[in-house]
Amino acid sequence: MSKETLTVTDNRTGRQYEIPLTHGNIRTMDLRQIKEDAEDFGVMGYDPAFLNTASCQSNITFIDGDKGILRYRGYPIEELAENCTFLEVAYLLLNKELPTAAQLQEWVDLVKHHTMIHESTKTFLEGFRYDSHPMSMLISSVAALSTIYHDARNIADPIVRRRNVVRLIGKMPTIAAYAYRHSLGYPYVYPDNDLSYTENFMNMLWRMVEPKYVANPILARALDILFILHADHEQNCSTNVMRSVGSSQADPFVSTAAAAAALSGPLHGGANEEVLRMLDEIGTRDNVRAFVDKVKAGHGKLMGFGHRVYKNYDPRARIIKWTAEQVFQVTGKNPKLEIALELEKIALDDEYFVKRKLYPNVDFYSGIIYQAMGFDPAMFTVLFAIPRTVGWLAQWEELIADPEQKIARPRQVYLGQGERHFVPMEKRAAQRVSA
Ligand code: ACO
């Protein structure tokens, strides 16, 4: 019978330590007993970008990056995308199980009852400059919800927690649409609760003078699928922020705003907007080879390529490609698709990308679909933030209920000056200061 332990030898002292393995992993705190002498602090793990550090135990999302597998609560993403609505998947992520028809109806009604935003949030949006980025407006407005829902600070009460979870899921599309309309100078459109989650979002974005907005059902379904694909992705950069801020017991509105801020960066959710900029820069199919050579020479990155976890095809990118075909049947092909396909073909054949296991990620094709549907590139990351809010909140609820979780507070390896004493100004020599 094999033992579920590791034996570590400290070659400085010759001492041996037996460290337990739980689910195949060590607890890094068990390394602290390894000391050179009694004064020593003990060994820590140094892992600046969490390359090999699990920050929590979770039951929500499973990814096998080498095999290209993504599952929510055990269900393959392909099956959920094919068979579910976004709100059904949201229910699954938050409640661990798929809903029955009655449970789904109740859940959809509940979310719809929270789609309106307080009129003061509208006034708040009015204060932004006409050319503000919608993602920046979204981040700030979500944080501002905390000024309205004071009960949200009571994170210890599961009923209050869930009430504010539903508020966020209901209001996210409204804030996003209002931010978009503000940037165009259009009047805001109030939510229409006769419509589905995505149809209502499209209504708030695009309704003009018609008495009732009717979304194209293929486009509304495509958006629903895209929302399902973006709903959660275990411990990514923004979810880590959600958990980290949430661990200080901050309320869910400011925690979600912080997570959205992390998402906005070009290496994370902001990549979808950058992909479109890159395709614009490339301009035509003939320029693709030269662009790839430039990237290989160290000038920039192929945006929408590469992933920390997927070292095989991103399963979401495959579903997105299929969804793109449905959308283009309605909208006509986005001319950028030709450039993207050529880019993918050249990159997947090139030793630089093959060796580094760089494949298209979820952001590579999503922007092309969004643009064909009529979204401005500045809205792309907002479209990511709306569904990811569900994942952030499911992870946040899991964090709050986890008795092992404490305030997130990493250690550092200090490499700065040892102790030195104050020097009066007149005795200081000028030192070269580097950034
Ligand atoms: N284009 C060109 N080279 C790349 C790319 C890329 N998109 N991504 C990684 N590389 C190279 C790196 O330069 C590095 O090369 P080296 O070993 O010669 O130094 C190697 O591949 C490994 O890359 P890392 O940066 O170590 O990979 P990491 O896991 O830290 O980063 C990330 C992952 C941030 C996604 C990265 O691949 C990237 O910047 N991609 C482009 C931005 C993007 O599409 N982000 C969206 C990710 S999906 C999401 O967040 C929703």
From 240, 264, 358, mutation site for ligand 1 pocket: most ligand atoms within 8 A of C-beta? 358
- Give the pLDDT confidence score for residue 350 in this predicted structure: 94
The reported pLDDT for the residue numbered 329 is 94
Which value, to the nearest 10 degrees, does the dihedral of the CA atoms of residues 12, 13, 14, 15 take? -120
What is the average per-residue pLDDT within 43-51? 97
Q: Kindly report the protein residue whose alpha carbon is nearest to atom 50 of ligand 1.
A: 268
Please determine, for residue 13, whether its predicted confidence score (pLDDT) is greater than 90: yes
Band the pLDDT of 318: cuts 50, 70, 90. Answer: confident
Q: Do residues 262 and 241 make contact, with C-beta atoms less than 8 angstroms apart?
A: yes
Among the residue ranges 249-253, 373-377, 396-400, the one predicted with the least confidence is: 373-377
Residue type, 172: M
Residues with CB under 6 A from ligand 1: 236, 267-269, 271, 295, 301-308, 356, 358, 361-363
- Asked whether 312 and 65 are in contact (CB, 8 A), the reply is yes
Three-state DSSP class for residue 262:
helix
Q: What pLDDT is recorded for position 435?
A: 66
Find the 232 Cα to ligand 1 centroid distance in Å.
Answer: 20
Nearest protein Cα to ligand 1, atom 30? 308
Among this protein's residues, is 230 annotated catalytic? no
Of 128-137, 283-292, 359-368, the poorest mean pLDDT is in: 359-368
Distance CA 398, CA 57 (A): 9
Q: What is the pLDDT of residue 121?
A: 86
How far does residue 353's CA lie from ligand 1's centre (Å)? 10
pLDDT at 333: 87
| Mean pLDDT, residues 139-154 taken together | 96
User: Per the residue annotation, which of 114, 224, 307, 314 is the catalytic one?
Assistant: 307
Q: What is the DSSP letter of 264?
A: T
Ligand 1 centroid – CA 368 distance (Å): 20
pTM: 0.94
How far away, in angstroms, is 362 Cα from ligand 1 center?
Answer: 13
Name the DSSP letter for residue 186. P
- High-pLDDT (> 90) share of the chain, %: 87
Pick from 167, 189, 130, 81: which is nearest to 378 by CA?
A: 130
pLDDT value, residue 142: 97
Q: Please give the share of the chain, as a percent, with pLDDT higher than 70.
A: 100
Question: 334: pLDDT confidence band, cut at 50, 70 and 90?
Answer: confident
Catalytic residue among 30, 268, 350, 402: 268
Cα–Cα dist 39/373, whole Å: 64
47, 295, 308: residue to mutate for ligand 1 pocket, most atoms within 8 A of CB: 308
Among 89-93, 304-308, 380-384, 413-417, name the one with the lowest average pLDDT: 304-308
Residue at token pair 């507070």: 409
How far apart are the CA of 169 and the centre of ligand 1, in A? 31
Per-residue pLDDT averaged across 274-286, rounded? 93
Q: How confident is the model at residue 355 (pLDDT cuts 50, 70, 90)?
A: very high
Clarify whether 268 is annotated catalytic.
Answer: yes
Atom of ligand 1 nearest to the CA of 384: 51
Report the alpha-carbon distance of residue 307 to residue 123 in Å, rounded: 39
CA 65 – CA 316 distance, rounded (Å): 12
> CA 68, CA 362: separation in Å to the nearest integer?
12
Catalytic annotation present for 363: yes
